[in-house]
Amino acid sequence: MKRFVDITPPLPAQRTGFGYLSVPPLLAFALAVGACSSSGADSATTSNETPVVTTETSTAITDPASDGDDLDTYLTDIETGGFSGVIAVRDGDVITTRAYGVADRENDVPVDAETVFDIGSITKQFTGAAILRLEMDGLLSVNDPLGDHVPGLPDDKGAITLHQLLTHTAGLPHGFGPDDQPIGRSEFLTLVAATPLASDPGERYEYSNVGYALLAAVIEFETGGPYEEYLRTALFEPAGMFDTGYLLPDWDDHTIAVGYDHASGARFGRPNEQLWDVDGPYWNLLGNGGILSTGADMLRWDAALLGEQVLDATAKSKFFAPHVLDVPEVGIGYGYGWAIIPTTGAPLITHDGSNGFFYADFLRLVDHDVAVFIAANSDRDEDGDLTADIANHVLDGALEAMFEGDD
């Protein structure tokens, strides 16, 4: 049975990973077409207007580098390769949303435009934005030591700055165990306190889910409430994102996708069917991964970042700055929950996430007014470059050209 839907819902609000990423999947694309050069400041801070979104589906964008196929044909052909998930593309004011495959194989439920997916480590950008929002409100500074906001830590951990946590330069380990290990905040902080640092804070980049879970703890100590509750009130509601979160959204009219092992087809289940605490995931996952969302909500997030309803220009300049080098040999930087990939033009801003069953990727080319989001309920290697391929089609082959000829 064919499982393909072309639905483009309006983006205005209609109601009042798991964290195992080490290198962005687009790096493979970047290396395939040439090493990257350095780039200037991110331009996401230059636009303060939220675009007017139409419901027209784009069908006339042609990529001369792809045998003349237009975007519509390319997106249609994706299904023949076995992709199961959702693709949402913004090209200026034109939104294209496609749904493919089956969200629940056992019950033969197709993916549609409102299907909810686990977006993995894309969660980190929400944590980073929440910290910047607290800074905007005068409750903290990204230069503060962790010990100013999380009590009871030993001196070596307490001296780590929030900036070092945000940029994976705190010297903390990748993680403490499985995502669903029943570990509460107090036990998690005890583990942090007892674990030796792998390097001196600020010495080097080393991707750490622990660091972003600590940032979630900072948010809870500063706000006096749950992490998800603050994200909902400070970020999601202002952006019109009512279908994003762990437990707070009302998903009664939505299908939450079931995750599957790509190799064996074994059922992993829905994210919220896993072993979670009463207010969401346990602390090996909280703040660094596992948030659920839809394609439409992620484009609402993109629109909010173009304006200032969530973060002001100063906050966004920190959000998207390549503070440290993630992949020094090709100049790929890391901001506050984003990889910043330099090109011959404006930087490509991206982050992905996966837990081995779900995969999601989010790419933004702000200077070209393009954003691409994909989410899948099986994690296939061949989907790793999909966002870049789609963006290249939207830009008539210009994305590939932005990497060619670099040293």
Contact assessment for residue 118 and residue 292, using Cβ atoms and an 8 Å cutoff: yes
Would you say residue 279 lies in a domain?
yes
Dist CA 354 CA 20 (whole Å): 6
Of 376 and 329, the one with more pLDDT: 376
Dist CA 129 CA 136 (whole Å): 10
Mean pLDDT along residues 157-182: 96
Would you say residue 406 lies in a domain?
no
Residue holding tokens 């969200």?
103
pLDDT for residue 397: 86
DSSP string spanning 204-246?
-----HHHHHHHHHHHHHHHSS-HHHHHIIIIIHHHT-TT-BS
Mean pLDDT along residues 23-44: 36
Would you say residue 19 lies in a domain?
yes
Stretch among 38-42, 78-82, 196-200, 227-231 having the lowest mean pLDDT: 38-42
Q: How big is the CA angle at 283 (ends 175 and 323), to the nearest 5 degrees?
A: 55
- Kindly report, residue by residue over 340-354, the tens digit of the pLDDT: 998 888 889 999 999
Q: Is the pLDDT score of 8 beyond 80? A: no
Contact assessment for residue 130 and residue 294, using Cβ atoms and an 8 Å cutoff: no
- Kindly report, residue by residue over 199-212, the tens digit of the pLDDT: 999 999 999 999 99
Contact assessment for residue 362 and residue 350, using Cβ atoms and an 8 Å cutoff: yes
Would you say residue 357 lies in a domain?
yes
Nearest to 75 by CA among 124, 8, 14, 9: 8
Would you say residue 93 lies in a domain?
yes
Would you say residue 299 lies in a domain?
yes
Number of domains composing the chain? 1
Task: Output phi, psi for 215, to 5 deg.
Answer: -65, -35
Would you say residue 407 lies in a domain?
no
Alpha-carbon separation of residue 71 from 66, 111, 383, 394 (angstroms): 10, 20, 17, 7
At 95, is the secondary structure helix, strand, or coil?
Answer: strand
Q: Which domain holds residue 302?
A: 4-401
Q: Is the pLDDT score of 38 beyond 50? A: no
Dist CA 103 CA 255 (whole Å): 7
pLDDT for residue 253: 84
Mean pLDDT along residues 317-327: 92
Which CATH number fits the domain that encloses residue 255? Answer: 3.40.710.10
Of 259 and 401, the one with more pLDDT: 259
Would you say residue 22 lies in a domain?
yes
For residue 64, what pLDDT band results from cuts at 50, 70 and 90? very low
Q: Is the pLDDT score of 32 beyond 50? A: no
- Mean pLDDT, the chain, whole residue set: 84
Dist CA 84 CA 92 (whole Å): 26
Alpha-carbon separation of residue 2 from 59, 82, 110, 153, 156 (angstroms): 21, 11, 9, 55, 57
